[in-house]
């Protein structure tokens, strides 16, 4: 039975123009899919909504959590009657908008002290300010030049709904005709998330553009010895469009982590195009174009397929992560590398045949085989010689590389895990600057909600438990500054004490205003205790939340009632544990998947394990570099282990495949190592350097998390290239000797290790 690659070779060599047109049509359809690509931010990118914690958080936010949008008003004198009248006008218009439950600020305070109407003169305003305690206005008017109005939204709004609300507010402010010198800025968490999504879109476009420019530069520098040298750039662009199209049609959201997938795909995808192109150029130097196309498809097609599938194994390992944005990154990367492989496999030989490819002649009339005068030809010879030196000193070189890798694994455990979202975004992003300004003014406070559920949370016993647990936490936990619940409100409206009978409870509950009641009670079955805390780093918050869980287990609610810690603080602090456990699990799974895949392909343990040994060292080297450079683990760098395994496996497999191809032609191990490394040295070096250039685009991101990821991945690719050229020949020398010992016919020509 003929292999699929033989069938494909027949089609491409006989109908190359038809193949090119088919790919072109596919790209045109993909352009339509790109219009459906969407950006996603917020909690859904950090936690799986189908998990118990995700469902609890979703239930809490949709029931109790009300987002606030702040109107930051700045003027020479915000207490001027004209400015106050302007604020009153836009607040009334905003209060009538959909999803708005109320607006609070200095205007509401002044009206409350002036019979429901706004003071009209400076004297009236001054008189009211004298009557009020300073704290009553300082929250909304921190200075004479700044006022803050707080717009409360309905609970449970999606980010898309919030974006619509913010857009409406912006239109109101834009058309409000403010007095001279008055500026109004819309800020708050919802505005922060909206602008972060917009910045992500801009950043993705810039990164892709920079990556493509760097690809052109890299190809121009390292691939000038072949004809049509910029063809790989065109192919990777087609693969990228195809990827965007699939992402759009399947409605996969683009998150902060997924943005980095596209420069990564450019860097990896260019590898496939370069390796196909280099092999086609090599074959075209010694045979006809048709034979060169057929040999490229039938020989390079399977070996690069194995490399592509091994790379995919590394990305597929990311799917076990509990963090949705990491899983999304893995899915997009798999789609992307598959798209780039298919486009390169089809178009390199098809373009070569259709346009009658003729290899360039090296200066002085030489070629790659004869070691002519071109720099890359001389590089091939140098790499082959280096492989010979390494093969002769395999054991010492492997010991040194292994020791460095072991130190890296040890240092990896000392690397800090950062889940603070504020540090991920650009420091000068306007929404962040404005939000920080409000936080400094109104005070930086955090809260940890405890979600209470039961058949009747208004039972006297349950209310007493709430009050006792709140008192316990406030007295024993130094990070807790206060707490509020429905029990707190009932006691406030019952002279400071909880009722002792159900009749008294009903009367007290009726006295609590409905808007206050809804913040802490949903019917008779759901309630929330809100613990106010000091501002904490996520590591400290994690310890506080874990302690709160233990105390809940010890101080259990009455029978039939459950209480669970939830909220955004719990999400981000728990993310530390998920990243710490997930990165090691993903790395281990990537190793297992690649080994199993290679064992299925080769059906030999030694051959399947050979490409993995250098990769194990490279992963250790990465840990050492991150520790030395002080780069934290984030949701993005947590993917580094799996991604390294996938990327590095490509180079090691390509070296091994070419080695075994030379062995099948009768060369002994030593000669096969030198010749294989010499023949493929330029291809993997060029592809490695262009991958470095592609990943380097991440360094230009305004997102700190992405730029750090870019720095580490650039180093990773350099390590992967070193692992293929330095470590792999040593490994192949040892495995060749093992095979020789197991062979009945001794092999000659191999030097001692």
Residue showing tokens 């798209």:
339
The H or E element containing residue 118 is none
Q: Judging by beta carbons within 10 Å of its beta carbon (0-12, 13-18, 19+), is residue 147 exposed, middle or buried? A: buried
Confidence bin at 740 (pLDDT 50/70/90): low
Query: Residue 452: helix, strand or coil by DSSP?
Result: strand
pLDDT tier, 443 (very low <50, low <70, confident <90, very high otherwise): low
Pick from 451-460, 481-490, 699-708: least confident: 699-708
Q: What is the pTM of this model?
A: 0.75
C-alpha span between 268 and 341 (Å, rounded): 10
Helix, strand, or coil (residue 580): helix
Closest CA to 472 of 555, 533, 559: 555
Q: How confident is the model at residue 624 (pLDDT cuts 50, 70, 90)?
A: very high
660-688 confidence digits (pLDDT tens)? 888 888 888 888 888 888 877 777 777 77
pLDDT, tens digit (0-9, with 9 covering 90-100), for 558-592: 888 999 998 877 887 788 888 888 888 898 999 99
From the list 268, 300, 283, 270, the residue with the least C-alpha distance to 352 is 283
List pLDDT tens digits, range 358-396. Answer: 888 765 554 444 444 556 667 778 888 888 888 889 899
Q: Does 407 score more than 90 pLDDT?
A: yes
Residue 632 backbone phi and psi in degrees, to 5 = -80, 160
In this predicted structure, what is the pLDDT of residue 689?
Answer: 78
Distance between CA atoms of residues 724 and 677, nearest Å: 9
pLDDT digits (tens, 9 = 90+) for 306-361: 878 888 888 899 998 888 888 898 999 999 999 999 999 999 999 999 999 888 87
3-state helix, strand, coil in the chain (%, to 5): 70, 10, 25
Identify the pLDDT of residue 749: 40
What was the pLDDT predicted at 752? 37
Distance CA(340)–CA(128), nearest Å, equals 70
**E-strand spans in 504-571?**
521-522, 526-534, 561-565
Q: Which helix (H) or strand (E) holds 381?
A: helix 375-392
C-alpha 24/C-alpha 456 separation (Å) is 64
**What pLDDT does residue 748 have?**
36
Instruction: Give pLDDT, residue 753.
Output: 37
pLDDT attached to residue 466: 92
Q: Mapping DSSP to helix (H, G, I), strand (E, B) and coil, where does residue 534 land? A: strand
- Domains of the chain, first to last: 4-41+195-422+574-742 (1.20.1640.10), 66-154+157-187 (3.30.70), 439-573 (no CATH)
Residue located via tokens 């609890």: 56
712: left (phi over 0), alpha (psi -120 to 50) or beta: alpha
Predicted pLDDT of residue 745: 41
Residues 6+ apart with CB under 8 A from 719: 618, 621, 622, 644, 648
Residue closest to 710 by CA, chosen among 694, 698, 701: 698
Tokens of 359: 């290899």
Place of tokens 């039939």: 560
Q: Poorest-confidence range of 133-137, 327-331, 736-740?
A: 133-137
pLDDT of residue 371: 43
More confident call, 679 vs 725: 725
> Closest Cα partner for 73 from 147, 139, 141, 145?
147
Q: What percent of the chain has pLDDT over 90?
A: 21
Q: What percentage of the chain exceeds 70 in pLDDT?
A: 93
Q: What is the pLDDT of residue 3?
A: 86
Tell me the three state secondary structure of residue 527.
Answer: strand
DSSP track, 38-100: -B--SGGGTS-TTSHHHHHHHHHHHHT---EEEEEEE-S-TTSHHHHHHHHHHHHHHHTSTTE
pLDDT at 239 over 90: yes
CA-closest candidate to residue 63, choices 501, 737, 380, 521 = 521
Convert the pLDDT of each residue in 83-105 to its tens digit.
888 999 999 999 999 888 888 88
């Amino acid at each position: 039975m003929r292999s699929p690659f033989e069938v494909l070779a027949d089609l491409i060599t006989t109908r190359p123009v038809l193949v090119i047109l088919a790919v072109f049509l596919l790209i045109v359809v993909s352009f339509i899919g790109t219009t459906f690509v969407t950006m996603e931010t917020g909690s859904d990118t950090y936690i799986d909504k189908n998990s118990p914690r995700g469902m609890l958080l979703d239930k809490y936010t949709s029931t109790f959590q009300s987002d606030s949008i702040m109107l930051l008003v700045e003027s020479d004198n915000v207490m001027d009657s004209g400015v106050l009248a302007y604020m009153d006008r836009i607040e009334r218009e905003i209060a009538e908008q959909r999803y708005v439950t109320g607006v609070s600020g200095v205007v509401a305070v002044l009206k409350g002290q002036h019979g429901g109407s706004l003071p009209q003169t400076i004297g009236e305003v001054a008189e009211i300010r004298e009557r009020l305690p300073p704290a009553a206005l300082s929250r909304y008017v921190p200075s004479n030049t700044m006022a803050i109005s707080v717009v409360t939204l309905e609970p449970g709004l999606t980010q898309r709904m919030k974006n619509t609300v913010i857009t409406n507010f912006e239109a109101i402010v834009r058309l409000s005709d403010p007095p001279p010198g008055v500026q109004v800025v819309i800020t708050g968490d919802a505005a922060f998330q909206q602008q972060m999504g917009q910045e992500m879109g801009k950043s993705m476009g810039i990164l892709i553009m920079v990556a493509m420019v760097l690809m052109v530069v890299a190809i121009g520098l390292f691939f000038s010895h072949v004809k049509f040298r910029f063809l790989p750039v065109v192919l990777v662009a087609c693969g990228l469009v195809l990827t965007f199209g699939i992402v759009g049609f399947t409605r996969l959201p683009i998150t902060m982590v997924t943005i980095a997938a596209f420069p990564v795909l450019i860097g990896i995808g260019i590898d496939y195009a370069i390796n196909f192109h280099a092999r086609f150029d090599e074959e075209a130097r010694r045979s006809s174009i048709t034979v060169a196309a057929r040999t490229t498809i039938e020989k390079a097609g399977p070996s690069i397929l194995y490399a592509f599938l091994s790379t995919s194994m590394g990305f597929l390992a990311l799917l076990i992560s509990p963090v949705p944005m990491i899983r999304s990154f893995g899915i997009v990367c798999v789609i992307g590398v598959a798209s780039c492989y298919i486009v390169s496999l089809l178009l390199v030989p098809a373009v070569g045949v259709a346009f009658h490819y003729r290899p360039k002649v090296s200066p002085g009339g030489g070629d790659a085989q004869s070691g002519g005068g071109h720099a890359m030809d001389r590089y091939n010879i140098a790499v082959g010689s280096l492989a010979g030196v390494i093969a002769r000193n395999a054991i010492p070189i492997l010991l040194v590389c292994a020791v460095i890798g072991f130190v890296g694994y040890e240092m990896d455990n000392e690397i800090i895990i950062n889940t603070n979202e504020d540090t991920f975004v650009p420091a000068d992003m306007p929404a962040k600057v404005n939000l920080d300004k409000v936080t400094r003014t109104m005070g930086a406070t955090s809260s940890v909600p405890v979600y209470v559920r039961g058949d009747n949370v208004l039972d006297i016993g349950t209310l007493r438990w709430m009050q006792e647990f709140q008192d316990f936490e406030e007295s024993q936990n130094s990070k807790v500054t206060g707490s509020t619940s429905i029990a707190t409100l009932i006691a406030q409206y019952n002279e400071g004490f909880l009722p002792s009978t159900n009749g008294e409870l009903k009367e007290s509950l009726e006295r609590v205003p409905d808007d206050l009641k809804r913040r802490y009670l949903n019917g008779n079955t759901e309630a929330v205790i809100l613990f106010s805390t000091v501002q904490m780093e996520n590591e400290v918050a994690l310890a506080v939340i874990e302690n709160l869980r233990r105390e809940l287990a010890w101080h259990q609610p009455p029978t039939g009632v459950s209480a669970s810690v939830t909220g955004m603080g719990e999400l981000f602090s728990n993310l530390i544990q998920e990243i710490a456990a997930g990165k090691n699990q993903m790395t281990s799974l990537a190793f297992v998947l690649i080994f199993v895949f290679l064992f299925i392909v080769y059906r030999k343990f030694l051959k399947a394990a050979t490409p993995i040994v250098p990769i194990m060292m490279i992963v250790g080297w990465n840990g050492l570099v991150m520790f030395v450079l002080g780069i934290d683990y984030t949701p993005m760098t947590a993917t580094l282990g799996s991604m390294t395994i996938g990327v590095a496996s490509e180079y090691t497999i390509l070296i091994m495949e070419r080695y075994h191809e030379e062995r099948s032609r009768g060369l002994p191990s030593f000669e096969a190592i030198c010749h294989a490394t010499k023949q493929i040295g330029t291809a993997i070096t060029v592809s490695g350097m262009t991958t470095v250039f592609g990943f380097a685009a991440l360094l230009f991101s305004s997102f700190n998390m992405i730029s750090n990821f870019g720095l580490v991945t650039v180093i990773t690719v350099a390590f992967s290239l070193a692992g293929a050229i330095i470590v792999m020949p040593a490994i192949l020398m040892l495995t060749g000797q093992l095979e020789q010992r197991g062979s009945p016919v001794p092999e000659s020509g191999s030097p001692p290790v």
